[in-house]
Structure 1
Amino acid sequence: MGQMKTPGVYIVEKSAFPNSVVEVATAVPAFIGHTEKAVNGGKSLAGKAWRITSMAEFHSFFGGAPFPKFTLAEAQGGGAEAATPPPAEGGEAGAAEPAADGGSAPAAMDFTFNDKAYTLDQSEGHYILYNCMRLFFQNGGGPCYIVSVGDYKAAVEADRFKKGIEELIKEQEPTMVVVPEAVLLEDADCTGVQQAALQHCGGKMRNRVAILDVYDGYRDRQDPAGDCIDQFRNALGINYLDFAAAYYPWVDTSIVQDKELGYESISNADMVKTLISEELGLDGDSGGDKGGDAGGEDPKKAQLKEALEKMTDPSLADDEKELLNKTLVQVSPLFKTMCKELKAKLNRLPPSAAMAGIYTMVDNARGVWKAPANVSLNAVIAPSVNITHDDQEDLNVPTSGKSINAIRSFIGEGVLCWGARTLDGNSLDWRYINVRRTMIMLEESIRLASKAYVFEPNDANTWVTVKSMISNFLTGIWKRGGLAGAVPSDAFSVHVGLGETMTPEDILEGILRVTVLVAVSRPAEFIEITFQQQMQKS
């Protein structure tokens, strides 16, 4: 208090306890991609980071799903000779056979019909952020940020994603950066976006990590197009690898349902109508003279023909379209096969969004210090590539150090995340993603709490207060299992003071140095159990 000049009684209140450190949020991902809209009331949210907490809020601010369209075409070099499809039973028209996995059919073939191979290639609506957001919330996702870089008419360009990443500099809360649509770019552009994310996380902000997808990660490493893992490692570089984790392979999900697809999903409906007519035998003679004993055209065929004609009628109401889709699925195995292929294509997604949800779920249930691994993925049917124990050796412990976390399927357990390493796998300090994220949480929490002591007197009283504040916080983290040690003194130590962390010159320059040592808990990645026989004792 100020100098006392007037006689009287003065009350002095003195703080007995140091400030408390508030633990910062650890599971707040920021997603960057294309959305249907970006509006809050009448205000545009395009290119801005906006916080949401549920899929309902996503719909409110950013709209719904894109409407994908596919083009049906006969496979180049297709046919019975090139595709070698299984013959139709009895040689009857209309027996549609899907492509057999691992068969001798060309990779471009999606299904065969009457000894001809056909493909379904997506031509419109190729944006995956919406389905990735659904996958995120299915796997335990919570509060997150969305940066909309364009609508469903905008071109997918690397510069848009990089500007979206730069926008996150203004936000302090996000702890993860996820750009799932980067895999829609060319491979070099995708690498450029991922490097920009690494630069943002490890170079500029240093308080968040990037979750990366392997480009073409749905391919096997023995694919004729090349080893996607080697290409990913070679292209990414070596900067800020301890601020990122990558996952392989992509996952086949159950996000997109049958009701979201239909005949409108195929742009060239005339070709679909022709094939279904051929399958159902509707393209032949109409049934003879209408005045004959046959009674004219078969009523059932007439109804099917009428239904097929409606496929090109743009004036149908939504309920009529739904009824038509149900009719086509029931009467045409070929159309059902087409819809199955469309759903499989749309449901194959990169795993970064699912892993962001897993991070959130594990953080909320156990804490950021628990490795986000040995956890099952929801809404995931299977990984696109089946990885064995031997296959994972080079993924987990490569000579380059760029560890890739595997997503594997185990009998009786489902699809699990089976890795918890950063891309800096050779570093003993930052090998594990939970160690990096725990340190980020500790650093940010203590940094924000210590701002209250900026410009305070740089003397013993302040040093003791700061030390007590940090020690109390770390004791609470140790009790919850975040730090390793039988007693607090084994788990951490805080050092501050003249002659200990500061010199007289530091004090003259206004510098208060605090050194914090912590023993962060690490995952038991390898468990070795030794068995040995002993002599019989009784």
Structure 2
Amino acid sequence: MSTIHKTPGVYIQELDAFGNAVVPVETAVPVFIGYTQNTSYGGESLLKQPIKISSFADFLTYFGSEAPHIKFDIAEDPAEDPDFSFGDKNYAIQAATVKYRLYGALKFFYANGGADCFVMSIGAYKDGLTKFDSTTPFTDALTLLKKESEPTMVVIPDLVEFEAADAYTIQNAMINHCGDDMPSRVALLDIPGGYEEKDIKESTVDKFRSGVSPINAKSNSYAAAYYPWLHTTIFQESDFSYKNLTDDAFQVLDKALRAEFNVSNAPVLDSTNKNGQKIFNKARDFDVKISYLTAQDYKGDYDAKKFPLFKKLGDDQAKERKMADDAIRNQSSFYTKVLDHVQRTLNLMPPSAGIAGVFTSVDSTEGVWKAPANVAMQSVIAPAIKINHDMQEDLNVPLDGKSVCAIRAFKGMGNMVWGARTLDGNSNDWRYINVRRTLIFLEQSIKQAAKAYVFAPNDANTWVNVQSMISNFLTGVWKQGGLVGPKPADAYSVSVGLGKTMTNDDIQNGRMIVAVKVAVSHPAEFIEITFQQEMQKA
């Protein structure tokens, strides 16, 4: 509206030459749900709140610097499946408490290129807990996440610790959350038990496909599953010690160490000290008399002159325990085998957290439209199950369409993500995870920009501005390789206006309808090279 001037003079009015622009939304911001060491920071509760972090150091600052002390039992001469032999006996190492996986998952995420993410703590570690009590804290967390718009991926590493049926319940909730409640994000799923195949009649993948059935089958395109589990190097030798052993394990360890070093006149391990704590000790009077561990031929009493490293430390229990642990670790092959197996057990990890890091890395370097596949995973030694060409046929193209992305080891290439399909593998529209995520990116970016025109006049001027805004954005995406076509007109089209996308009734009812068509890049999943001989020409 022009201004009526009443005083003579020169007046300047600035006019906008350009319309609003679409600001691209973030595409790789996972939210991790699970248990943590701390549930408060600076006197403020962190419980059931999505907290944004930018590094693993941030995670340690907010949620605690120690990995959960998962306890293990040592079984002597187990009925089946021994883990190793020592002397004339077999031994099995079994986790006696639940494996809290969020701490390791965050390390795995950042090892594979992770950046910003959210962490939602649903509770603190509970010492001695043998299994999770209920799936409710996880499903309730998904309900709370409806209030947070920024996350674009959902990862729940702990769900593999449930019985399979309960794990599928959580995964169904994840898919329903992404497909129905928050169609701006995708769920990254693990295969429960996907590290060994004991049942030759029904694999863990088959059980997963039967167990995962969201309310709306179309929601399957908002989820991708990865298989198998991975042997990693996330946890190091220094992360494990006597603290990871149960009371029962101490008894077996004591017996094995006395046999290894031919020591029978005194226990290598006192069962408890005066404060009720486990301690490595030779004598019952709490002195550190473990010198015989430094030389297998030493059988006498403690001699400070001959073995000056060890001396009486009084009531400095932590130092005594650490010294004894180091000595036994350095001298005992049996103890080393025990800790090595504990380390291998916890380094066997479901892949979803690492895959979230791969998504982040690929998005930042090439764009969300690039399939997050043919990428080597970091901090991975090998897949737990070797997959060959024939095995992957069913994973990739099953009859029910629930495709599972394989992780395979290739000589000279590494451990590669070798699949890029959603659980909606039979859909020509939503078969590939990069197609689904590209459409989410386009939809959410345009949706946020279009809010500027809510309550604007529903007339030709507004239609032109909206069409121009979206077209400029899509042209930029096309130039980056996100849309396919030799020219922009072949890559997308934007229509809005009376007689094009709206009727007079739409306008009267306040509806402005914009039709956007895009040609999204699909991955070259199958490359066929034809060879044919021809006659010699000279």
Query: TM-score per shorter chain, which class?
Result: 0.7 to 0.9
Query: Are 1:229 and 2:195 counterparts?
Result: no
2 CA distance for matches of 1:159 and 1:7? 71
* CA distance 1:191–1:76, shift in 2 (3 Å): same
Distance 1:529 1:466 in 2: 45
* d(CA) in 1 for partners of 2:16, 2:266: 98
| Aligned mates of 1:227, 1:274 — CA distance in 2 | 39
Measured in 2, the distance between the counterparts of 1:527 and 1:372 equals 17
- 1:241 aligned residue: 220
Q: Deviations over 1:400-456 (max 9, x none)?
A: 100000011111211111000000000010000000000000000000000000111
Amino acid at match of 1:161: F
Q: Is the partner of 1:536 in helix, strand or coil?
A: coil
1:513 has 2:513 as partner? yes
Give the residue type in structure 1 aligned to 2:261: L
Aligned to 2:443: 443
Gaps of 5+ in 1: 78-105, 287-296
How far does residue 305 in structure 1 lie from its aligned partner after superposition? Answer: 12
* 1:293-332 pair list within 5 angstroms: 300-302=298-300, 317-332=317-332
Query: Separation in 2 of the partners of 1:492 and 1:226?
Result: 45
Distance in 1 separating the partners of 2:407 and 2:396? 12
Counterpart for residue 91 of structure 1: none
Q: How far did residue 330 of structure 1 move?
A: 2.7
User: What SS class does the counterpart of residue 300 from structure 1 fall into?
Assistant: coil
Aligned-pair Cα RMSD in Å: 2.4
Which residue in 2 is equivalent to 1:253? Answer: 232
Give the distance between the partners of 1:185 and 1:177, measured in 2 at CA. 18
Aligned pair partner of 1:188 in 160, 165, 175: 165
1:465 to 1:231, Cα distance in 2 relative to 1, 3 A: same
Within 2, Cα distance between the matches of 1:58 and 1:357? 15
Change (3 A) 1:303 1:395: farther
- Cα separation, 2, equivalents of 1:196 and 1:339: 37
- In structure 2, the CA distance between the partners of 1:258 and 1:225, relative to structure 1 (3 Å rule), is farther
Residue 453 of structure 1 corresponds to: 453
**Residues 318-357 of structure 1: pairs in structure 2 closer than 5 A:** 318-357=318-357
Matches within 5 A, 1:519-538: 519-538=519-538
Does residue 360 of structure 1 match 2:360? yes
The match for 1:414 is 414
Partner of 2:378: 378
Hey, what does 2:255 align to over in structure 1? 274
Equivalent in the alignment of 1:84: none
2:152 to 140, 151, 175: 175
Q: How does 1:456-467 map to 2 (within 5 A)?
A: 456-467=456-467
Distance in 2 between residues matched to 1:441 and 1:359, nearest whole Å: 14
What's the secondary structure of 1:177's corresponding residue?
A: strand
Q: CA deviation at 1:260?
A: 1.2
SS of structure 1 residue aligned to 2:299: helix
Distance 1:75 1:177, change over 3 A: farther
Question: Deviation of residue 267 (structure 1)?
Answer: 1.5
Distance in 1 (alpha carbons) for counterparts of 2:315 and 2:112: 39
Q: Which amino acid aligns with 1:66?
A: P
TM-score by length of 2: 0.87
Task: Give 1:216 shift.
Answer: 0.5
Contact residue 282 and residue 305 of structure 1 kept, 8 A: no
Distance 1:406 1:347 in 2: 19
Measure the CA separation in 2 of the matches of 1:123 and 1:452. Answer: 56
Shift of 1:141: 0.4
Aligned twin of 1:405: 405
Name 2:271's counterpart in structure 1: none
Which consecutive unaligned segments of at least 5 residues does structure 2 have? 268-291
Deviation of 1:537 after TM superposition, in Å, equals 2.0
Structure 2 CA distance for partners of 1:130 and 1:304, relative to 1, 3 Å:
farther
Check 1:46–1:376 CA distance in 2 against 1; reply closer, same or farther (3 A cut). same
How many residue pairs match? The answer is: 494
2:133 paired with 1:131:
no
Are residues 42 and 284 of structure 1, via their aligned partners in 2, closer, same or farther at CA, if it must alter by over 3 Å? closer
Pick closer, same or farther for the CA change 1:446–1:259 going to 2, 3 Å.
same
Quote how far apart the aligned CAs of 1:11 are.
4.4
> What displacement does 1:477 show?
0.4
Check conservation: 2:76, 2:252, Cα contact below 8 A: no
Q: Tell me the distance in 2 between the aligned counterparts of 1:264 and 1:177.
A: 32
SS in 1 for 2:388: coil
SS in 1 for 2:370: coil
Query: 1:76-134: CA deviations, max 9, x gaps?
Result: 43xxxxxxxxxxxxxxxxxxxxxxxxxxxx33x22223433322221236201101110
Deviations 1:470-514 (A, max 9, x none): 000000000000001111111111111110111111111111010
Flag the 1:355–1:316 CA change in 2: closer, same or farther, 3 A.
Answer: farther
> TM-score normalised to the size of structure 1?
0.87
Residue in structure 2 matched with residue 34 of structure 1 by the alignment: 35
How far is 1:325 from its partner?
2.7
8 Å contact from structure 1 (residues 125, 152) kept in 2: no
1:298-347: CA deviation from partner (whole Å, max 9, x where unpaired): 9823479999xx9xx99655454443233213321111111111111111
What residue number does 1:291 align with? none
Aligned in 2, Cα 1:304/1:49: closer, same or farther, shift over 3 Å? farther
In the alignment, structure 1 residue 146 sits paired with structure 2 residue 146: no
Give 2:357's aligned amino acid: G
Q: Distance in 1 between matches of 2:330 and 2:26?
A: 50
Alpha-carbon distance between aligned partners in 1 of 2:314 and 2:105, rounded to the nearest angstrom: 30
Aligned counterpart, 1:201: 178
Tell me the secondary structure at the aligned position of residue 506 of structure 1. helix
Aligned match of 2:192: 215
SS at match of 1:408: strand
Distance between the aligned counterparts of 2:200 and 2:256, measured in 1? 32
Quick one: percent identity of the two aligned structures? 47
1-structure distance, mates of 2:478, 2:353: 30
